[in-house]
Structure 1
Amino acid sequence: MKRLLIITALLALLLPVQAVGTDAKKQYSSPRRYPAEIECAINRDIQKADSLVKAGKPDEALTFYKKSLKSKDSLYNRITTSQMEEILSLYNMDKLTLQKEQRRNMFHQICLSISVIIIFALLLFNIHIYRSRKRLQKDEKEMRRLTAIAEEANEIKSRFLTTISYNIRIPLNNVVGFSQLMTEDANLSEDEKREYSGIIQSNSAELIRLVNNILDLSRLEANMMKFQLQNCNVQEWCNELPCLVQMRSEGSIHLELVADTGNAIIHTDVSRLTQLVSGMLLYPVECKRTRIVNMQLTYNPETQAINCRIENSPLTDPAFSSQKESISHRINLLFFEHFNGSYRVEKSGDNPIIYFTYPTLTT
């Protein structure tokens, strides 16, 4: 019965553990005492209480039980506080370690970012160097090509000047020579004077034509030629061309013209176009030999252009080949290209064929 009362009292004392913790701290919470010493003291009190219970002194045993319970509560609080402090210390250490790792990771990320930026900058620099080198190589290649073209052009120009000087010198010498002869020789007959005058006139005309061709070529190459542009009906222009050729050739050139151009209209310098086309149909030098020239003009609605084909042209006859004919071909090419057309000479047997195109406005 006494043991039952003691156990009941102990259970009642276990409930208000926090309320009785203050007295236990005053007795056992000395900063110099360690948990092991406190635990030994509690065990001694419990042993004394057990001895008093066996001796039949429950009231005295109850006091030791209360004292031991208070001591245990104080010990548990102290252990809990110590563990909490240790946990807090570990938390702070982990927090500091985490912050250190975060700073280290941030430093690594910064270093990595800087490395990536440097690598990217180096890559861009290498690409720029590569492109610059390619551009320099391309410019150098283009410069070599232009230099070769310039040297070739200079050589062609030198040959051209040499040849053209010879072609100019001959008629000029004839004009000067026969003029002096007519002036200084008073014994010339009327027939001789008429003959010399004819020679002077023909050479003067040849000289003027040659100089005009050279000037036209220079203007076309410099894109400084002035044109008097107007609309021209191709079919009407073709109707007048055979009579013009017949008159200028004095009947030696017979033009067989086939024109199927409909109502095609071109915008051009009619006088200049007529001069160039008639130059393809007439003899480049004085010749009375009868010649048949075939000319065909057609309208191509797909390309919106007039296509022309000239066969047996005196301008392409090898018998009349000279520097003057080369100048005429060059002038024709530049003229048609100026108006977005084309001009070419294709070899076909003994006498090449002339082809040229000219764009139309309306049909």
Structure 2
Amino acid sequence: MIAELEAQRRIIDDIIKEQPAMLDSYRSKILEIELMYCKIYLAVEDAPNLKKHLDEAAKFYTDDSFSSTVIAYNFSWAGYYYITKDWDKCFPQFELTLSAFKGTQPMYEMDIRRIMGDAYADAGRYKEAAETYRVAVLKCDSINKATLRMNEETVQANYRIQKALLEKEIGAKRFWQIAVGGVSLFVILLVGGVLRVSRIYRELAKSEREMRESYAVVQAADKMKEVFLHNITNEISVPLHSVVTLSDSLCQRNDLTMEEQQEYSAVIRRNAEKLIDLIFNILDLSRLESGMMKFNVQEYDMVQLCTDARMQAELQEGISVQVDFLTDLHTQLVQVDTVRFMKLLSSVLMSPKGRREPYAVQYMLDYKSIDELRIVVTNSPLLMDVENERECEIQHAINRLYLEAFQGSYQLCEEDGKQLIIITYPIKSFS
């Protein structure tokens, strides 16, 4: 990734060297490249290189930049001060980052608040850390309530639609029943119609039976949605209760030892991360099921995307990971939403948060057919996380619905005693 960024920067520098007047045209692109450098070095906590590129980004940064650029710039400075433990500059920079959201991107803002809470905890300012976690959790709780309310309204709307369709169908059937009855009466007058009466009776009985079966299907679907909402509510309430309870303890009790404060902070951080991930997944699942998910589709090399996923998995902090990526392909361009597909690959390659055991995973990219790619993942951590079965089921559902939206597929199977995830993705463009 760094090599690609360096190549882009060299191209732009050569253009500007030949035509200095083009500097203003490429200012925002140079700033974007420098911020990508900052993101990489922030992830690996390389403070010297991070500072070098922050100083370079400062030459092209202006306050009237896009809000996403302002957020990334201020967050990179906050991360630099976090790494260097310069707390006096770190927390004001976090505040600048949060002020740049202006009410937009609430999920991203909660993630920044969680990181800010981590910084407070590392600085030994546990009360401020607890308060920051509390604010993030309360915001998350409000979004959770809105999500549950939206799902409830969706269930009710589906029920009303099904009821209206059923009533319409009953009305149509009644109309035809009357019409058939009139014709039957005429036939009865002509031919004695005993057999006709018997046939009409059988048809009515069949229609009633089909209507009851359709109604039972609608009731079963509604029941499944109610069970899903109930299970999700239980999954959310446990970490939410832990975070709120321990935050209250940190804020109100003065008799806690340093070890207890650190333990509480660690539990709050772990549950807050779990809660935020769960909310993100619920929102994604809801959007995919309702067809409201928006995708940013562009042409990209699938081989490079898989390579980037391997690098991201191996860069997980504090985990010994062995990821083997096997392919005979050198390049293969596809139409893909790179962010969503990278998230899908990360979910099947990376260990769930909170687990630190070493693991080894292997995945292979090849052609399934002339117009379809196949990715086979062996020993995925997502298939082995028995402690978070419900969360894994949600992630499998998200992955499956996402691939189906792009005419692909997502299958779980077992072969020669090995657990596999098989992903297919079309090479040809789609409408």
Compute the TM-score of the two structures, normalised by the length of structure 2.
0.49
Flag the 1:133–1:274 CA change in 2: closer, same or farther, 3 A.
farther
Give the deviation of 1:321 after TM superposition: 5.2
Q: What letter matches 1:239 in structure 2? A: T
Whether 1:162 aligns to 2:230 is: yes
3-state SS of paired residue (1:322): helix
User: In structure 2, what is the Cα distance between the partners aligned to 1:160 and 1:311?
Assistant: 29
Give the deviation of 1:214 after TM superposition: 0.7
Note if contact 2:403-2:410 (Cα within 8 Å) is conserved in structure 1: yes
3-state SS of paired residue (2:229): helix
Note if contact 1:182-1:196 (Cα within 8 Å) is conserved in structure 2: yes
In the alignment, which residue of structure 1 is the partner of 2:180? none
3-state SS of paired residue (2:226): helix
Note if contact 1:178-1:200 (Cα within 8 Å) is conserved in structure 2: yes
What pairs with 1:13-92 in structure 2 (closer than 5 Å)? none
What pairs with 1:177-326 in structure 2 (closer than 5 Å)? 177-248=245-316, 250-302=318-370, 304-317=371-384, 319-320=386-387, 322-326=389-393
Note if contact 2:296-2:337 (Cα within 8 Å) is conserved in structure 1: yes
Q: What letter matches 1:224 in structure 2? A: M
Give the deviation of 1:281 after TM superposition: 1.4
Pick from 396, 406, 424: which aligns with 1:339? Answer: 406
3-state SS of paired residue (2:421): strand
In the alignment, which residue of structure 1 is the partner of 2:27? none
Note if contact 2:379-2:420 (Cα within 8 Å) is conserved in structure 1: yes
In the alignment, which residue of structure 2 is the partner of 1:352? 419
Give the deviation of 1:203 after TM superposition: 0.7
Give the deviation of 1:301 after TM superposition: 4.4
In the alignment, which residue of structure 2 is the partner of 1:173? 241
3-state SS of paired residue (1:347): strand
Flag the 1:256–1:143 CA change in 2: closer, same or farther, 3 A.
farther
Note if contact 2:270-2:354 (Cα within 8 Å) is conserved in structure 1: no
Note if contact 1:261-1:306 (Cα within 8 Å) is conserved in structure 2: no
Note if contact 2:412-2:421 (Cα within 8 Å) is conserved in structure 1: yes
Q: Which 5+ residue runs of structure 2 have no aligned equivalent?
A: 1-185, 191-199
Flag the 1:350–1:202 CA change in 2: closer, same or farther, 3 A.
farther
Note if contact 1:234-1:261 (Cα within 8 Å) is conserved in structure 2: no
3-state SS of paired residue (2:293): coil
RMSD of Structure 2 on Structure 1 (CA): 3.1
Flag the 1:346–1:156 CA change in 2: closer, same or farther, 3 A.
same
Moved over 6 A (4+): 132-142
3-state SS of paired residue (2:254): coil
3-state SS of paired residue (2:315): helix
Flag the 1:226–1:193 CA change in 2: closer, same or farther, 3 A.
same
Bigger Rg over Cα: 1
Pick from 218, 222, 225: which aligns with 1:150? Answer: 218
User: In structure 1, what is the Cα distance between the partners aligned to 2:385 and 2:415?
Assistant: 12
3-state SS of paired residue (1:344): strand
User: In structure 2, what is the Cα distance between the partners aligned to 1:178 and 1:261?
Assistant: 51
- Residue by residue, what CA displacement relative to the aligned partner does 1:320-359 show, whole Å, maximum 9, x if unpaired? 4511111111111100000000111113466531111011
Give the deviation of 1:210 after TM superposition: 0.5
Q: What letter matches 1:180 in structure 2? A: D
Give the deviation of 1:232 after TM superposition: 1.1
- Residue by residue, what CA displacement relative to the aligned partner does 1:73-96 show, whole Å, maximum 9, x if unpaired? xxxxxxxxxxxxxxxxxxxxxxxx
User: In structure 2, what is the Cα distance between the partners aligned to 1:332 and 1:287?
Assistant: 21
3-state SS of paired residue (1:298): strand
User: In structure 2, what is the Cα distance between the partners aligned to 1:268 and 1:346?
Assistant: 25
3-state SS of paired residue (1:286): coil
* 207-216 or 150-159, which deviates more: 150-159
Flag the 1:322–1:306 CA change in 2: closer, same or farther, 3 A.
same
- Residue by residue, what CA displacement relative to the aligned partner does 1:31-56 show, whole Å, maximum 9, x if unpaired? xxxxxxxxxxxxxxxxxxxxxxxxxx
Flag the 1:347–1:301 CA change in 2: closer, same or farther, 3 A.
closer
Flag the 1:189–1:224 CA change in 2: closer, same or farther, 3 A.
same
Give the deviation of 1:173 after TM superposition: 0.7
3-state SS of paired residue (2:256): coil
